[in-house]
Amino acid sequence: MTGINEHYLKLKAGYLFPEIGRRVKAYSEAHPSEKIIRLGIGDVTLPLAPSIVNAMVDAAKEMGSPAGFHGYGPEQGYGFLIQKIIEHDYTKRGVKIDEDEVFVSDGSKCDCGNIQEIFSLDSKIAVVDPVYPVYVDTNVMAGRTGEVDANGRYENIVYMPATEANNFEPDFPKEKADIIYLCYPNNPTGMVASKSRLAEWVSFAKKSGSIILFDSAYESFIQDPEIPKSIYEIPGAKEVAMEFRSFSKTAGFTGTRCAYLVIPKELKGKTSKGEEVSFNSLWARRHTTKFNGVSYITQKGAEAVFSHQGQKEIGEQIAYYMQNAKLIREGLGKAGYTIFGGTNAPYIWLKTAKGMKSWEFFDHLLTNAQVVGTPGSGFGPAGEGYFRLSAFGKREDVISALERIQKL
């Protein structure tokens, strides 16, 4: 009988969001007349902006003509999109990025999960706790960790707790970490990192010889002009960091799938013999071997995001979601909850009521208010006693959910 990858058996019972789905499905089947409001998983609810739709329709028509048909495209992405990405997201911020340092993909989740393949298996990772589960689980699958302990932490991972006690600003790793995962604006806490704090992280990475994997999927929700939207706004960051970006929440591409990863050529690692190698070249090899590229139609839609009209339209959508976040913050505050985040990010992080455990509070809201959120413990041990709500719902659902919660 063929053997299996036994590292998969180390994974906890189930990935967070499928477990949420299982519980909601069971409740819904038992109470078919109840309307459930979902403010848990971070999926958008507004439709694609007209500029994006028109661009994709035009691209589809183009593909239907002999002269305009496109077969396999460049795995790294079409130049027309990469040039817009560089111009809008980097050049305007005084950052120089070359076209061959940008890799277009079908999602930041995929990139965050796959990037670990270009690092040695004995690399030690450090994660903020609570953490986006993909960072941890994919390294468990690869074999970089030991078993999970009773507290939900894996051996050979450095955990950096982010709690109310340290204002959700984790300390630097206390032991050597080769790879440091950072996410700002943060999922799940909704907190952001100041320019001075990011500069400290860059300085730390340089001194420790670490690589920062910077997930900035929610940068478009930053409202404060003093908060950096890219780690490359910090001098020297290109030597120690790669950056993950996504169109999913920015432009509603959760079902359309398009993202990109920036790996500067000066970002280097070492072989076992001490030879320096560019991570850019390693990822280029991996990307072109295992990925066939995002569709032409999708990339034309993504290009439209950067048009003047596209920016106006997605700006209105972001404002809609951030108004939802404001309503949730204010509504929960009136209900007596202690709340965090939601001012520069689409997520609100709250303390559970009456000291309930996170999953206990999940069941409490589902059963008594028919509202679905995300248990904080699902993001790591430091998330126990907290709960995440998403601002991506429809306005009427957000208002209704708050009314239900306030009645509890």
pLDDT in tens, 25-82: 999 999 999 999 999 878 999 999 999 999 999 999 999 999 999 999 999 999 999 9
Whether residue 132 is annotated as binding a ligand: the answer is yes
What is d(CA 214, CA 82) in angstroms, rounded to the nearest whole number?
19
| Partners of 244 in beta bridges | 215, 261
| 107 within 8 A of 248, measured Cβ to Cβ | yes
pLDDT score at 371: 97
Q: How deeply is 217 buried, as exposed, middle or buried, from its count of CB atoms within 10 A (0-12, 13-18, 19+)?
A: buried
pLDDT score at 50: 98
| CATH entry 3.40.640.10 includes domain 53-306 | yes
pLDDT at 147 over 90: yes
At 4, the pLDDT band (50, 70, 90 cuts) reads very high
Mean pLDDT of the chain: 96
| Partners of 339 in beta bridges | 350
Picking from 57, 20, 84, the residue whose alpha carbon sits closest to that of residue 247 is 84
Question: In this structure, what are the phi and psi dihedrals at residue 241, rounded to the nearest 5 degrees?
Answer: -140, 145
Whether residue 388 is annotated as binding a ligand: the answer is yes
pLDDT score at 13: 64
pLDDT at 17 over 90: no
pLDDT score at 42: 81
- The amino acid sitting at 128 is V
Under CATH, domain 12-47+309-406 is a member of which superfamily? Aspartate Aminotransferase, domain 1 (3.90.1150.10)
What is d(CA 270, CA 213) in angstroms, rounded to the nearest whole number?
17
Whether residue 72 is annotated as binding a ligand: the answer is yes
Q: Could you tell me where in the chain the CATH 3.40.640.10 domains are found?
A: 53-306
pLDDT at 142 over 80: yes
Tell how strand 37-38 and strand 241-246 pair up: unpaired
Whether residue 108 is annotated as binding a ligand: the answer is yes
Range 305-310 average pLDDT = 98
What is d(CA 160, CA 124) in angstroms, rounded to the nearest whole number?
13
Cβ-based neighbours of 389, under 8 Å, separated by 6 or more? 39, 40, 328, 332, 347, 348, 350, 373, 374
Range 308-335 average pLDDT = 98
CA 397 to each of CA 188, 314, 318, 321, 328: distance values in angstroms, whole numbers, following the listed order: 21, 21, 17, 12, 11
E strand or H helix at 403, and its extent? Answer: helix 395-407
Whether residue 246 is annotated as binding a ligand: the answer is yes
Whether residue 329 is annotated as binding a ligand: the answer is no
Q: Tell me: the pLDDT tens digits for 163-196?
A: 999 999 999 999 999 999 999 999 999 999 999 9
**Strand ranges across the sheet with 374-375:** 339-341, 347-351, 386-390, 374-375
Reported for 79-87, long-range contacts at CB under 8 A and 24+ positions apart, including other chains, are 80/299, 80/300, 80/303, 81/299, 81/302, 81/303, 82/260, 84/303, 84/306, 85/245, 85/260, 85/306, 87/306
Q: Tell me: the pLDDT tens digits for 247-290?
A: 999 999 999 999 999 999 999 999 999 999 999 999 999 999 99
Q: Encode burial over 374-384: b for 16+ CB neighbours within 10 A, e otherwise.
A: bbbbbbbbbbb
Range 291-316 average pLDDT = 98
| 380 within 8 A of 317, measured Cβ to Cβ | no
Q: Could you tell me where in the chain the CATH 3.90.1150.10 domains are found?
A: 12-47+309-406
Whether residue 168 is annotated as binding a ligand: the answer is no
Whether residue 292 is annotated as binding a ligand: the answer is yes
pLDDT score at 14: 65
Whether residue 390 is annotated as binding a ligand: the answer is no
pLDDT score at 40: 85
Helix (H, G, I), strand (E, B) or coil at 245: strand
pLDDT at 240 over 90: yes
Q: What is the pTM of this model?
A: 0.96
At 18, the pLDDT band (50, 70, 90 cuts) reads confident
pLDDT score at 41: 75
Whether residue 135 is annotated as binding a ligand: the answer is no
Whether residue 27 is annotated as binding a ligand: the answer is no
Q: DSSP letter at 197?
A: H
Question: 371: which 2 tokens?
Answer: 């509202």
Whether residue 15 is annotated as binding a ligand: the answer is yes
Q: What DSSP string runs through 291-330?
A: -----HHHHHHHHHHTSHHHHHHHHHHHHHHHHHHHHHHH
Question: In this structure, what are the phi and psi dihedrals at residue 208, rounded to the nearest 5 degrees?
Answer: -90, -10
CA 142 to each of CA 73, 113, 118, 376: distance values in angstroms, whole numbers, following the listed order: 30, 10, 11, 25
pLDDT score at 348: 97
What is d(CA 388, CA 83) in angstroms, rounded to the nearest whole number?
36
| 224 within 8 A of 379, measured Cβ to Cβ | no
pLDDT at 400 over 80: yes
| Partners of 350 in beta bridges | 339, 387
Share of the chain above pLDDT 70, in %: 99
Round the CA-based radius of gyration of the chain to a whole number and report it.
Answer: 21
Range 94-107 average pLDDT = 98
Q: How deeply is 169 buried, as exposed, middle or buried, from its count of CB atoms within 10 A (0-12, 13-18, 19+)?
A: middle
Q: DSSP letter at 17?
A: H
